[in-house]
Amino acid sequence: MVTSAISDADLRQRAWAAAAQVVDPEIPVLTIADLGVLRNVAVHDGHVEVAITPTYSGCPAMNMIALEIAVALEREGIQRPRVRTVLSPAWTTDWMSEDGRRKLKEYGIAPPLPGSSRRALFGEQMVACPQCGSTETELLSEFGSTSCKALWRCKSCREPFDYFKCH
């Protein structure tokens, strides 16, 4: 029926808007829409299903994000939403929005270098300091406070900073 089709589209839009507001619990300036973790919102017979994808296989934030989505949708009056995890296509830092990159930088985390996800076994990376912009930086630790970050230091302003790893 036409009316039901319209309300399904409306419901989908409301559900997307609510889910898109959910922030990453470990990088609270980024929403899951900025990150590209929010993949899809579908409506089947009036039931909403949200699809999310993990950044890293073991990312412990996924359970929290799924819970927050359910709460956000319930608050919006959407009852018993389902949250599903999808693995394919695999998440990449290239999906991070421009807005997301800007917000990350303002927060003090160097955004991932675009389009550089492929390895070079002993490759050099040039990461600009999110504080002063200098490219005189060095890697301190390939692994940081969360799965998605590495620890760097700026040799110009001497500040240590997080770098969102390319993936």
Contact residues toward other proteins (CB under 8 A) are 54, 56-60, 86-91, 117, 119, 121-122, 140-145, 147, 151, 165, 167
Calpha distance 116→118 (Å, rounded)? 6
The nearer residue to other proteins, 103 or 162, going by C-beta atoms, is 162
The CB-of-77 to other proteins minimum distance in angstroms stands at: 31
Q: How many CB atoms lie within 10 A of CB 28?
A: 9
Task: For residue 104, give the nearest of 32, 23, 158, 164 by alpha carbon.
Answer: 164
DSSP 1: -
Q: Residue 51: what residue type?
A: A
The nearer residue to other proteins, 103 or 149, going by C-beta atoms, is 149
The CB-of-90 to other proteins minimum distance in angstroms stands at: 4
Task: For residue 50, give the nearest of 74, 25, 26 by alpha carbon.
Answer: 74
The nearer residue to other proteins, 54 or 100, going by C-beta atoms, is 54
The CB-of-59 to other proteins minimum distance in angstroms stands at: 7
The CB-of-74 to other proteins minimum distance in angstroms stands at: 24
